Structure 1
Amino acid sequence: MQFHYVKVWDGWVRMNHWLILLLMLVSFGTAKSQKMDWHMLSGYTILTLLIFRLLWGVFGSDSARFATFLAWPGAAWRQLAKLGRREPDTEVSHNPAGGWMVVLLLALLLTQATSGLFTYDQVFTRGPLARWVSEEWVDFASTLHVKNFYWLLAAIVAHVVAVGVYFVAKSHDLLGPMIHGEKKLPADIPPPRMASPAFGLALLALSAAIVWGITRMRIGL
Structure 2
Amino acid sequence: MPRPARCDEKVGAPREVTLWDPFLRGFHWSLAVFVILSWCLGQFGPAQMTLHFWCGYVVTGLLIFRLIWGFVGPAPARFSHFLRGPAAIAGYLRGIFMREPSYWPGHNPLGALSVIAMLAALAAQVTTGLISDPDDFINVGPLAGLVEPATRSRAVGWHEFGANLVLVLVLVHVAVILFYRFWKREDLVRPMLTGRKQVRDR
Report the TM-score, using the length of structure 2 for normalisation. Answer: 0.86
C-alpha contact (below 8 Å) 2:31/2:62 kept by paired residues: yes
Q: Secondary structure at the match of 1:170?
A: coil
Whichever residue aligns with residue 74 of structure 2, its letter is S
Q: Which amino acid aligns with 1:169?
A: W
CA distances 1:57-90 after superposition (whole Å, capped 9, x unpaired): 1111100000000001332122122012245534
Name the SS of the counterpart of 1:5 in structure 2. strand
Q: Tell me which residue corresponds to 1:110.
A: 123
| Cα deviation 1:135-184 (Å, max 9, x = unaligned) | 11102211110011111111111111112212233222211111111102
1: distance between equivalents of 2:15 and 2:161? 45
% identity of equivalent residues: 32
User: How many aligned residue pairs are there?
Assistant: 188
Comparing 67-76 and 80-89, the one that deviates more: 80-89
Shift of 1:105: 0.6
Structure 1, unaligned runs of 5 or more: 191-221
56-65 or 3-12, which deviates more: 3-12
Where in structure 2 are the equivalents of 1:1-20 lying within 5 Å?
Answer: 3-20=14-31
Higher helix fraction (1 or 2): 1
2:21 paired with 1:21: no
Q: Matches of residues 143-182 of structure 1 in structure 2 within 5 Å? A: 143-182=157-196
Counterpart for residue 44 of structure 1: 57
CA distance in 2, matches of 1:3, 1:155: 30
Alpha-carbon distance in structure 2 between the residues aligned to 1:121 and 1:182: 45
**Aligned: 1:69 with 2:82:** yes
| Cα RMSD after superposing both structures | 1.8
User: What TM-score results when the alignment is normalised by the length of structure 1?
Assistant: 0.79
Q: Counterpart of 1:122 in 2: which secondary structure? A: coil
Q: CA deviation at 1:49?
A: 0.1
2:196, 2:116 → 1: CA distance?
22
State the alpha-carbon separation in 1 of the partners of residues 199 and 88 from structure 2.
Answer: 21
Moved more, 156-165 or 24-33: 24-33
Partner of 2:71: 58
Distance in 1 separating the partners of 2:190 and 2:180: 13
User: 1:144 aligns to what SS in structure 2?
Assistant: helix
8 Å contact from structure 1 (residues 70, 99) kept in 2: yes
CA distance 1:165–1:29, change in 2 (3 Å): closer
